Structure 1
């Protein structure tokens, strides 16, 4: 994932987000580290790179399954050192560790130029598989080989997570390479112990709107499963919503669900945030606080800001939201929308189909090596 040098201050804003104090457990201005130093001002560093005219900024997330047991700074430094060896160039980067989720992780901002001034190019396969393989090897060196208890603990935690997990990767292996339909079939035998967490995950995906029950122990799973889950992971960050728009969900216990607008005529609720991210090649999902006990993530095109929506202005005719004030407090399954909160309701047109993400075979460092979700 990368950000182009398109708008002034764009990379600086990304630096403010990843260095925010609540996520890094320390002063935001001193949250960063690189290959040799700590206490780096990430905001100033990224702004310096953009001002220098760099073509792009690579954005990587390092999220090991037992991040709470690892030295994440050491892991990041070892990873970038191995990457520099693979790419045959010195790499300039800055990173920050986040501890504000159940799964501690690291955001890495990698400068998009080589030491000789050429643009740094990362092949898709290297990002998707090569870096993962290196990281898994390094995790194994720190923690040792995985035990059966480690595997069970990791999968148990992944069952309810709103992100793309190793369980989803196992499910996606059933997807045909040239599948043309919007869903692909998945079946698992509940009598086999190894399937218990996969089946539990399929039921969770069903509650998220990403799978449909198709009979006993059979499901139809959306082709764009990985894309949808990664979008939900980004949208699920309450700190990002607060920092960007100052609007939080009415009830933090509400589940995040992916709505397929092709099968929906009307949504009613309160717009929390539009998933504007320069890394998307097309309009990302928006997020809506729905009065019907969930938070909707919708791929509905590029909308205008909430303030423009309040005046009935939208960037996409097929998804025009008209402003209204909710007349009374409404509670359904824990959801709450108050009269003073602004709500939007309107017709929903069909959304473009997402291009299918490719799924390759996971690369291991050994039969029981550490894995990244």
Structure 2
């Protein structure tokens, strides 16, 4: 007989909460569908975002000049500009008035078309008190009041679309915070070059009668930082694409770049060649590309795959090339056509004896010195810095573009040169008296050159030849 089964233990029923927990569905980690893989932000992008936050949080008026301008990484994303600060003393009478008159003459006097195809009103390019009075009158009054100096500032942004009134006020505010005094100023915008730029004149006297002094740190760095911050506020930070485009463009440009300055600091002397005395070793791709360009314009020579020779004066040569390009571009836009665009160009530090047609009056961007560009009747382009001879002629109005000017020694004072206008280029062609003056000073055989048959110079030579043939008949009558 089988044993009875023992008591079966009762199973414990799970509590309802435990039962629900055991069957609850738990979704897995959410995954992105049809999206590009996530990439880690680059350092460049992080710096750009930091600058955007910095600009958006910083006050519209920059802080005290000469302070911290941000890290160099952030600085790469700020808008760029050249800020040139100079001053002029009152040693030469009426020289400040001449500077103001030059700025007025070279400013746009007619509506200019903007990049969006609209006409720009030139009246908006008058800044500060220049809205009410001419720059010549303002500067002349300051000099006659006995001021020791006048400050001249050029602000040249790299980008277009700048509100120059706002940028000028940024510069003035920075100076007033630094000096602790309000300043008198005026300005005008020039749009006759590739980059529009503003010329400011600032009175060199404080309200208390003392000379207005600007610390060297403000001149070298402070004002430029203030302008760059203002431009970044206006236009937004430079993008990574902007920076790459600028770097690529600098590899093949005939001017001094930051890469050239870096190369110049790293070269060492090498005496195997008279002209190429700088030795440089590099395997950097960008430096190699820049050196290859310098090689094409005769400023570098490759010895091996990594070894290069540079001309000792390659930085000075690049500077002069940029000057020639700027002047040629300005001449092209000046409205006075050059007879021979390929004529040799030379720089002179003072007047010399010649006859030539005025092409342009301008200021040297680095020194601020006035200069006049002539097309001489023997087929050269001469850029002459103003001395007492040219300054006097300019003040008399004899150096207007298009005037034919004779520079010769005075009979009463043979050691002194005197410049005088013989008339406007088109009227001179039929002016017997002016043609006779030229014929007395030159030998027509010297003008028998093929290159002098072009443009206005060709017309002038033809007029001289016809006048030379007709003079004996006039005398006989």
Q: Same fold (TM over 0.5)?
A: yes
- Larger gyration radius, structure 1 or structure 2: 2
Distance of 2:371 and 2:295 partners within structure 1: 23
Q: 1:323 to 1:240 in 2, by over 3 A?
A: farther
Distance of 2:384 and 2:130 partners within structure 1: 41
Q: 1:278 to 1:298 in 2, by over 3 A?
A: closer
Distance of 2:221 and 2:389 partners within structure 1: 36
Cα RMSD for the two superposed structures: 5.3
Distance of 2:277 and 2:148 partners within structure 1: 39
CA apart distance, 1:63:
0.6
Unaligned 5+ segments in structure 1 are 262-267, 317-321, 342-373
Task: Give the TM-score taking structure 1 as reference length.
Answer: 0.60
State the partner residue of 1:145: 237
Bigger mean CA offset, 126-135 vs 213-222: 213-222
State the partner residue of 2:201: 109
Distance of 1:70 and 1:145 partners within structure 2: 14
Task: Please tell me whether residue 19 in structure 1 is matched to residue 95 in structure 2.
Answer: no
Matched residue SS, 1:110: strand
Unaligned 5+ segments in structure 2 are 1-85, 112-120, 269-273, 391-404, 418-440, 462-477
Distance of 1:138 and 1:83 partners within structure 2: 14
Task: Please tell me whether residue 220 in structure 1 is matched to residue 311 in structure 2.
Answer: yes
Task: Please identify which structure carries the higher helix content.
Answer: 2
User: Equivalent of 1:32, from 112, 126, 142?
Assistant: 126
Distance of 1:160 and 1:74 partners within structure 2: 34
Bigger mean CA offset, 184-193 vs 38-47: 184-193
Measured against aligned partners, the alpha-carbon deviations of 1:240-290 in whole angstroms (never above 9, x if no partner) come to 997xxx9764345x49866799xxxxxx99685898979999998875658
State the partner residue of 1:340: 460
Distance of 1:2 and 1:240 partners within structure 2: 30
State the partner residue of 1:361: none
Task: Please tell me whether residue 4 in structure 1 is matched to residue 89 in structure 2.
Answer: yes
Distance of 2:189 and 2:363 partners within structure 1: 21
Kept after mapping to 1: 8 A contact 2:155/2:197 = yes
Distance of 2:157 and 2:210 partners within structure 1: 31
* Pairing of 1:293-312 with structure 2 (within 5 A): 295=381, 304-305=389-390, 307-309=406-408
State the partner residue of 1:366: none
Task: Please tell me whether residue 250 in structure 1 is matched to residue 339 in structure 2.
Answer: yes
Distance of 1:70 and 1:296 partners within structure 2: 34
Distance of 2:291 and 2:236 partners within structure 1: 25
State the partner residue of 2:134: 41
Kept after mapping to 1: 8 A contact 2:377/2:447 = no
State the partner residue of 2:169: 77
State the partner residue of 2:211: 119
Measured against aligned partners, the alpha-carbon deviations of 1:58-81 in whole angstroms (never above 9, x if no partner) come to 111101111x13212211111221
Kept after mapping to 2: 8 A contact 1:24/1:99 = no
* Pairing of 1:1-373 with structure 2 (within 5 A): 1-20=86-105, 23=108, 25=110, 31-34=125-128, 38=131, 40-66=133-159, 68-154=160-246, 173=265, 185=278, 192-193=285-286, 196=289, 200=293, 202=294, 206=297, 212-215=299-302, 218-222=309-313, 224=316, 228=320, 238=330, 249-252=338-341, 254=342, 289=375, 295=381, 304-305=389-390, 307-309=406-408, 326-331=446-451, 338=458, 340=460
CA apart distance, 1:40:
4.5
Matched residue SS, 2:193: coil
Distance of 1:60 and 1:220 partners within structure 2: 33
Distance of 2:456 and 2:288 partners within structure 1: 37
CA apart distance, 1:119:
0.8
Distance of 1:31 and 1:214 partners within structure 2: 47
Kept after mapping to 2: 8 A contact 1:270/1:288 = yes
Distance of 2:275 and 2:416 partners within structure 1: 26
Kept after mapping to 1: 8 A contact 2:130/2:188 = no
Kept after mapping to 1: 8 A contact 2:276/2:309 = no
State the partner residue of 1:358: none
Distance of 2:451 and 2:189 partners within structure 1: 38
Kept after mapping to 2: 8 A contact 1:18/1:96 = yes
Q: 1:71 to 1:190 in 2, by over 3 A?
A: farther
Measured against aligned partners, the alpha-carbon deviations of 1:30-66 in whole angstroms (never above 9, x if no partner) come to 85211x8845532222222122121111111101111
Distance of 2:265 and 2:110 partners within structure 1: 38
Using CA pairs under 8 Å that are at least 6 residues apart, name the structure with larger relative contact order, 1 or 2: 1
Distance of 2:338 and 2:345 partners within structure 1: 13
Kept after mapping to 2: 8 A contact 1:188/1:195 = no
Distance of 1:271 and 1:294 partners within structure 2: 11
